[in-house]
Structure 1
Amino acid sequence: MGHNASSNALQSSRGRFFHHNANLAVLNQTFAEAKPSEIMQFTMEKAQNPVVFTNFRPLAVAFLHLVSRAKPDIPVIWVDHGYNTPETYRHIENVVKQLSLNLRTYSPKMSAAHYNAVYGGIPALDTPEHDFFSRTVKLEPFNRAMQELKPDVWLNGIRHDQNAHRKNLDVFTQGNHGTIRVAPMFHLKEIDVEEYVYENELPDNDVYFDPTKGEEHRECGLLLEK
């Protein structure tokens, strides 16, 4: 099935291509063997107000490079929860400058120092306290960003090989806030992304910590939001 067929199947009323009633199965079938650059090009042609979300985790620079080459001025949402490593903060400054990213930083309404003083630091995983922590430092700022920017497309760098939840997703899926999530690198493996970083001589971030996940295979919560 070609791109024209998928365009016809997904065209909406009011001229919006990406909408929650779209037939995403058609798109995922069409782009099952496509290169990330082809998915990016198609998405940029059809999206009205796309945004990127990133946490600048290891290898995330590959996705940011891919997206910024296709649309240099795309808003890049970053939630600074305040618990990043010094290496991560320096890495972010470097990547933003090197790729000329249109970075939009959103921070929690309560700083990390404030939270630590009142609640005693990062709580244990799988507790109500940790759920509250995740909502406070990541989900609330993210939801605020989505409400302010009102995107139709949320681009992210997830891959099928990262954890069990993501294995069951696809390139095009329904996201929260009425968005369609697009993951151009979904079908790649970690070695593919490592090669992309190497071939494009991109800086990477090896000293990374996400306080809302605790463990690498866990979801941080953004993909589970409705």
Structure 2
Amino acid sequence: MASKPISALPQRTFHHGADLEALNQRFRDAKPSEIMRFTIEQAENPVVFTNFRPLAVAFLHLVTRAKPDIPVIWVDHGYNTPETYRHIERLIKDFDLNLHTYSPKMSAAHYNAVYGGIPPLDTPEHDFFSRTVKLEPFNRAMQDLKPDVWLNGIRHDQNAHRKNLDVFTRGNHGTIRVAPMFHLREIDVEEYVYENELPDNDVYFDPTKGEEHRECGLLLEK
């Protein structure tokens, strides 16, 4: 049986040569659910990344309503609060999450013993710490799962770097990053959590950020 000519093959929507400017313009005023539905329909192998921070439950709820079995990547750096671990266990049961947990090759206890704990921000030591406990496990997850689309819950109002992004952007590992809630404000997400009676995680700590509006590093990698 003869193969189809290249021109007859279906065209992928999400690839690094895609016209993201046109997509962002098309979905400028779309609801997060509309962006999500389009993405799930067009993506070949989408994944979600989450850290289960406050209000992240809204994004997970939105995604899993559209695709309940979507792989959910979580990097357990070992410095999470007890409340965060209990929150994760609850969402695994409530949402039936297809959770893929990745941990650093060096445990938090091992790192603390050898390097003396979390180093100060904006130092070479902290860069090494971030690569060890978050970036390396995340990169390993992406290499294992090989997604074409990386769904995430970032918004324009979270920090200066994210303000300059958009719903559809180019990510690392050849992915297209899609942020269905990008144009929402924090109050909009709070209302989503309230209206859907979702459990939230109020006691959270990210050792790679240190400050609430500081970028953790995943979005800065190419």
Q: TM-score, normalised by structure 1?
A: 0.94
Residue type at the aligned position of 2:76: D
Alignment match, 1:156: 152
Q: Does 1:220 align with 2:203?
A: no
Displacement of 1:172:
0.2
Instruction: Look up the match of 1:171.
Output: 167
Counterparts of 1:171 and 1:65, CA distance in 2: 18
Identity of aligned residues (%): 87
Work out the CA distance in 2 between the residues paired with 1:157 and 1:149. Answer: 19
Unaligned runs of 5+ in 2: 1-6
Q: Which residue of 2 aligns with 1:20?
A: 16
| Alignment partner, residue 3 of structure 2 | none
Q: TM-score, normalised by structure 2?
A: 0.95
1:133 is matched with 129
Aligned match of 1:6:
none
Q: Aligned partners of 2:10, 2:112: CA distance in 1, in Å?
A: 47
SS at match of 1:173: strand
1:122 maps to 2:118: yes
User: Aligned equivalents of 2:64 and 2:18: distance in 1?
Assistant: 26
The within-5 A match list for 1:72-83 is 72-83=68-79
Q: What corresponds to 1:29 in structure 2?
A: 25
Match of 1:58 in 2: 54
The CA distance in 2 between the partners of 1:16 and 1:79, in whole Å, is 29
What amino acid does structure 1 have at the position aligned with 2:88?
I
Is residue 2:120 matched to residue 1:113? no
In structure 1, what is the Cα distance between the partners aligned to 2:165 and 2:33?
19
- State how far apart, in whole Å, the 1-side matches of 2:217 and 2:166 are: 17
Matched residue count: 215
**Equivalent position amino acid for 2:16 in 1:** H
For residue 95 of structure 1, report the CA deviation from its aligned partner. Answer: 1.1
- CA–CA distance in 1 between the matches of 2:10 and 2:25? 25
- Work out whether 1:195 is the aligned partner of 2:191: yes
Residue aligned with 1:216, SS = coil
| Alpha-carbon distance, 1:124 to partner | 0.2
The one-letter amino acid of 1:200's match is N
Once the two structures are TM-superposed, the CA of residue 16 in structure 1 deviates from its matched residue by 2.3
Amino acid at match of 1:103: L
1:142 matched to 2:105? The reply is no
- Tell me which residue corresponds to 1:91: 87
Letter in 1 for 2:106: M
Distance 2:114 2:164 in 1: 38
- Give me the whole-angstrom Cα distance separating, in 2, the residues matched to 1:138 and 1:14: 36
Amino acid at match of 1:174: R
Deviation at 1:14, TM superposition (A): 6.8
Inter-partner Cα distance in structure 2 for 1:14 and 1:79:
34
Amino acid at match of 1:206: D
Please state how far the C-alpha of 1:180 moved relative to its aligned partner: 0.1
Which secondary structure state, in structure 2, belongs to the residue aligned with residue 135 of structure 1? helix
Aligned amino acid, residue 46 of structure 1: Q
In the other structure, the counterpart of 2:4 is none
- The CA distance in 1 between the partners of 2:12 and 2:138, in whole Å, is 23
Tell me, in whole angstroms, the C-alpha distance in 1 between the residues paired with 2:95 and 2:57: 9
**Partner residue, 1:210:** 206
Runs of 4 or more above 4 Å deviation: none
